[in-house]
A and B are shown apart, each in its own frame.
Chain A
Amino acid sequence: MHHKNIAELSAELAAKKISSVELTQHFIDRIHQHDEQLNSFITVTEEYALQTAKEADDLRAKGNAAPLTGIPIAQKDIFCTDGIKTSCGSKMLDNFIAPYDATLVKKLKAAGTIMLGKTNMDEFAMGSSNETSYYGTVKNPWNLEYVAGGSSGGSAAAVAARLAPAATGTDTGGSIRQPAALCGLSGLKPTYGRVSRYGMIAFASSLDQGGPIAKTVEDCALLLNAMAGFDEHDSTSVNKAVPDYTALLNQSIKGMRIGLPKEYFSEGLSKEVETVIQSAIKEYEKLGAIIEEISLPHTALSVPAYYVIAPAECSSNLARYDGVRYGYRCKDPVDLQDLYKRSRSEGFGSEVKRRIMIGTYVLSAGYYDAYYLKAQKTRRLIRDDFTEAFKKVDVILSPTTPTPAFKIGEKTSDPISMYLSDIYTIAVNLAGLPGMSIPAGFVNKLPIGMQLIGNLFGEEKLLNIAHQFQIVTDWHKQIPEGF
């Protein structure tokens, strides 16, 4: 049952082979059984899930079921959920019960999904290994000594271990695609503005975007149908019609052009990963796609630009956590300065503090032009690179990460090497483009992800090309041992 994808579960529910309550109970049982070793959930909303599952069954009995009615999913703990703890992986919000639902949560609820719980994540989504979470590291179901990736590591581990059919994630520099890659899943970061950010706790506002993590591309399409759309509460969401993202999945991709950025296939990329990606490219050739080399000349600047812009925005976004209105407050502050200093020193972890300090620095008088302004100009160059590239190709293909999952603790003392694990995913956020990671093979029994990048609002084509790969391969059907 838990190996089935959403499309299959939806059919079973429709055929009344199983009820949503039974399905939900099954996944809750699996969470109880397995999550102690994985640490993928921060909160399990068992009672709430069973209650809404019952409502979904009632709805179905009345003949009012939609494709996602009664399908359990997990929510990354970055999305505000009314009346339910929303921690963002931080001690700062360990006591925070959100007073409202994020738009994405509302939409998925309205589509009929059942929330199983809130998944673990890097603190405030800052991290690539889920080791910065206040709630501890998430373990990779493929090998418990390895990281699940981050920041949506809890979501990815939960889906990979079949503790949830699918989960939500957020992606600021790769936080959906990288954990999806490291856990052998399909993950989609939509175009910036496609999915509302309202109620999604901000890390870097101009880069953050929510999206699905699932076993298959088709499931991602089904979830995106429910998640996407204009939201009057988010000024940066785009008022553009939402197509049925499953409609074009089965179209032939014969004659479509796939670009390989030469800068992504250079030093830093592990030989084993490159071999996996090269054989994936062969599959595309067999499907009739035209492969060509392209250039994204400013690629090398994307990590530096990102590590100015994202911390700058984060330093401002996280200023609200001051111990005054909600969240962590230090014990017995003697005055206002003490309240601020200790609440923030004690409430935030070291990676968050590092980024707040970098961000504060780059926005300071006298440094703004040299860092923030320059990074914004660089960002434009990076975006222009992609604009040029999409004049020639339909999608861009690359590895998602330079290496497979690394060992827990391996990079915690070396932030630069940690930051470089997002080297292929970051530019996509800077350019606001949609990007996917899908399973493309294994190295040392650890999954390898292939990244596909689409043009702005080109999710349909992107999903089509990704789905065609999954028709002819079975990497996405592999199950980690013991789950």
Chain B
Amino acid sequence: MSKIEWEVVIGLEVHAQLATKTKIFSAAPTQFGAEPNTQACAIDLGMPGVLPVLNKETVEMAIKFGLGANAAITRKSVFARKNYFYPDLPKGYQISQYELPVVGKGYVDIELDDGSVKRINITRAHLEEDAGKSLHEDFHGLTGIDLNRAGTPLLEIVSEPDMRSAKEAVAYLKTIHSLVRYLEICDGNMQEGSFRCDANVSVRPKGEEKYGTRTELKNINSFRFVERAINYEVERQINVIEGGGKITQETRLYNPDKNETRPMRSKEEANDYRYFPDPDLLPLIIDEELIEQVRNELPELPQQKRQRFMDQYGLSAYDAGILVSSKDMAAFYENVVKESGDQPKLAANWIISELLGALNKAGLELDASPISSAQLGKLITRIADNTISGKIAKTIFDALWNQEGDVDEIIEKRGLKQVSDTGAIEKLIDEIMAANPEQVAAYRAGKDKLFGFFVGQAMKVSGGKLNPGQLNELLKKKLQG
């Protein structure tokens, strides 16, 4: 029997916490990290008699997302109650959208590792409220309930099962992540849970049209975990099927410490949510005027920006892709270009190979960079105007990183200015030749490779400050005699 080739099918549900000041149905603040139960008002606590009132800002944000994801905006959508009992769900139901979500069908294009582009369809996106948190530690066998998060606005973005590998799923997730941050509707913070993802995963023999039974993976709250959890789950499913077993439709929890998924609740325990339209809220009517208003306020989106960087700055698709990965990064880049006296390629190189490398090594985000865009721009200016060599620039970069002052100060203080005086360079060459008569003789006897030795010596003695072009030219002349 030949081995079956399996195809992986993945659909993602992303919960993006909308960056509003107040909750979706109350005026309580949404701030993260406050003392438990201090950011919950009577409405969030599900007190008797309270009623929800929709926060209009969430609607505009949902429209923004819809427009950014090439999606249909539903003119009349409906809020529904999803009924289930849980201690951190104060009303015994979650207000969500069921049959008529605010955002309909759309799509985003994702880029794969080989540079090809794949279109991932979006089924829908709907507004809903978040639940509170159950705290199981520190309560000695009891459970604490923190309702600060209850009523926080969420946009749930549901994709079609269009992804065929964990890598594609991550690429899609990153695309959505970048989109919501560009739109400034979500801060994208995965650690704090403001950008969360559940994955529906199934496998089927390649060529089969029918989907296999899927499992839903929860608690995969970093890009890395998404990839790992899906890969684990795919392998598990294939093993089960090849071992003659069947996949059970269930929700599984990913444990990043053990890198495995475990069943959370089986189908028998699955809730019947008894959805019905929430009689406390009127249907959400969105008119053309509001959509146009939001459309006019849309920022430049990642793909548009990337194309512009390629056209305007002559960058490669790869470099442009890195530089538009976040709105902050793109702004940082454009600022460096401006401060560098229009050196877009140098700016791109310095950011991508030096700054991002250093940040990565130090585990810092761009907004915590010790080197400002202005300083990096200045550094590039000094390379371009031949004040310093590229090599010296690296030294200055390190000094900037260590907060030793501004670019010109460091050049001055350390005497790093490039030597371009022909006389001085010739004098130095003479000294080196005098000190290394054997090498001179060997070079002159045809050992061309020794040229590098002389360059190295000259740079070493000068501390790397010689203008490399001039040094080459003069050295060649002198060595030839």
A residues within 8 A CB of B274?
315-316, 360, 363-365, 368
Q: Using a CB-CB cutoff of 8 Å, which residues 71-122 of chain A contact chain B?
A: 79-80, 86, 88, 93, 96, 98-100, 102
List B contacts of A202 (CB < 8 A): 48-49, 280
Contact of A233 (CB < 8 Å), options: B51, B87, B92, B276: B51
Q: List 24 A-B contacts (CB under 8 A).
A: A80-B48, A198-B50, A199-B50, A201-B49, A202-B48, A205-B280, A233-B53, A234-B53, A235-B54, A235-B280, A235-B281, A313-B279, A315-B274, A319-B92, A320-B92, A325-B45, A325-B46, A325-B90, A336-B87, A340-B85, A363-B274, A363-B276, A365-B272, A372-B276
| CB within 8 Å: A-B pair count | 98
Chain A, 184-243, CB within 8 A of any chain B CB? 197-202, 204-206, 232-236
B93 in complex: contacting residue of A200, A319, A326, CB < 8 Å: A319
Distance, CA A79 to CA B48, complexed state (A): 9
Q: How far is the CB of B283 from chain A (nearest CB, A)?
A: 11
Interface pair B279/A99, CB less than 8 Å apart: no
Residue of B nearest to A197 (CB): B51
Check B282–A235 contact: CB distance below 8 A: yes
Which of A199, A235, A363 contacts B49 (CB under 8 A)? Answer: A199
B52 at the interface (CB under 8 A from A): yes
Are B276 and A99 closer than 8 Å at their CB atoms?
Answer: no
Q: Roughly how many angstroms separate A363 CA and B81 CA in the complex, as a whole number?
A: 11
Nearest Cβ on chain A to B265's Cβ, whole angstroms: 14
Partner of A324, one of B49, B54, B145: B145
Q: Is the beta-carbon distance between B48 and A320 smaller than 8 angstroms?
A: yes
Given A236-B282, A312-B276; A363-B83 close (CB under 8 Å): yes
Least CB distance, B150 to chain A, in whole angstroms: 11
Q: How far is B50's CA from A360's CA once the two chains are assembled, in angstroms?
A: 22
**CB pair A198 B85 closer than 8 Å:** no
Q: Does A322 contact B (CB under 8 A)?
A: yes
Q: Which residues of chain A have C-beta atoms less than 8 A from B52's C-beta?
A: 235
Q: Is B285 an interface residue (CB 8 A)?
A: no
Residues of A within 8 A of B92 (CB): 316, 318-320, 322
Q: Is B126 an interface residue (CB 8 A)?
A: no
The chain B residue with its CB closest to the CB of A336 is B87
Q: Which residues of A contact B272 (CB under 8 A)?
A: 364-365
Name the distance in Å between A346's Cβ and chain B's nearest Cβ.
Answer: 16
Within 8 Å by CB of B90, from A99, A201, A320, lies A320
B91 at the interface (CB under 8 A from A): yes
**Distance from A434 Cβ to chain B, minimum over Cβ atoms (Å):** 19
- A99: nearest residue on chain B (CB-CB)? B42
Which residues from A are CB-within-8-Å of B441?
A: none
Contacts known (A99-B42, A319-B93); A368 close to B276, Cβ less than 8 A: yes
Q: Is the CB of A320 within 8 A of B280?
A: no
Contacts A236-B51, A365-B274 supplied; 5 other A-B pairs, CB < 8 Å: A235-B282, A313-B279, A324-B145, A326-B47, A364-B272
In the bound complex, what is the Cα–Cα distance between A100 and B275 (angstroms)?
Answer: 30
**Secondary structure dominating the interface of A:** loop
A331-368: contact bitstring with B at CB < 8 Å (1 yes, 0 no)?
A: 00000100010000000000000000000100111001
Q: Do residues B91 and A320 form an inter-chain contact, with CB atoms below 8 A?
A: yes
Chain A residues closer than 8 Å to B85, beta-carbon distance = 319, 322, 340
- Inter-subunit contact A205/B279 (CB<8 Å): yes
Q: Specify which of A201, A206, A234, A324 is in contact with B87 (CB 8 Å cutoff).
A: A324
Which residues of chain B from 235 to 274 have a CB within 8 Å of any chain A CB?
272, 274
> In the complex the two chains form, is B45's CB within 8 Å of A102's CB?
no
How long is the Cα–Cα vector from A372 to B81 in the complex, in angstroms? 14
CA distance A264 to B50 in the complex (A): 36
Q: Is the CB of B91 within 8 A of A319?
A: yes
Please give the distance in Å from B78's CB to the nearest CB on chain A. 13
* Bound: A312/B278 CA distance, A: 11
Cβ distance B54 to chain A, nearest Cβ, rounded Å:
7
Kindly list chain A residues whose C-beta atoms are within 8 Å of the C-beta of B51: 197-198, 233-236
The interface bits of chain B over 279-304 (1 if a CB of A lies within 8 angstroms of the residue's CB, else 0) are 11110000000000000000000000
Docked-complex contact B53 and A235, CB < 8 angstroms: yes
Q: Kindly list chain B residues whose C-beta atoms are within 8 Å of the C-beta of A100.
A: 42, 47
Note all chain A residues with C-beta closer than 8 A to B275.
Answer: 363
A311 to B39, CA, bound (A): 33
In the bound complex, what is the Cα–Cα distance between A199 and B48 (angstroms)?
7
> Do A198 and B49 contact each other (CB < 8 Å), given the known contacts A100-B42, A236-B280, A368-B276?
yes
What's the minimum C-beta distance from A56 to chain B, rounded to whole angstroms? Answer: 26
How many angstroms between the C-alpha atoms of A204 and B49 in the bound complex?
11
Question: Measured between C-beta atoms, what is the minimum distance from B136 to chain A in Å?
Answer: 12
Q: Is the CB of A316 within 8 A of B48?
A: no
B93 near A316: Cβ-Cβ < 8 Å: yes
Closest B-chain residue to A339, C-beta based?
B87
Q: Within B160-212, which residues are at the interface with A (CB < 8 Å)?
A: none
Q: How far is the CA of A206 from the CA of B51 in the complex (A)?
A: 12
Once the chains bind, are B81 and A316 in contact (CB under 8 Å)?
yes
Residues of A within 8 A of B87 (CB): 322, 324, 336
- Which chain A residues numbered 352 to 392 have a C-beta less than 8 Å away from chain B? 360, 363-365, 368, 372
Smallest beta-carbon distance B27→chain A, Å: 10
Residues of B within 8 A of A364 (CB): 272, 274
Q: How far in angstroms is the closest Cβ of chain B from A416?
A: 25
Cα(A360)–Cα(B274), bound, Å: 8
Which A-chain residue is minimally distant from B82 (CB atoms)?
Answer: A316
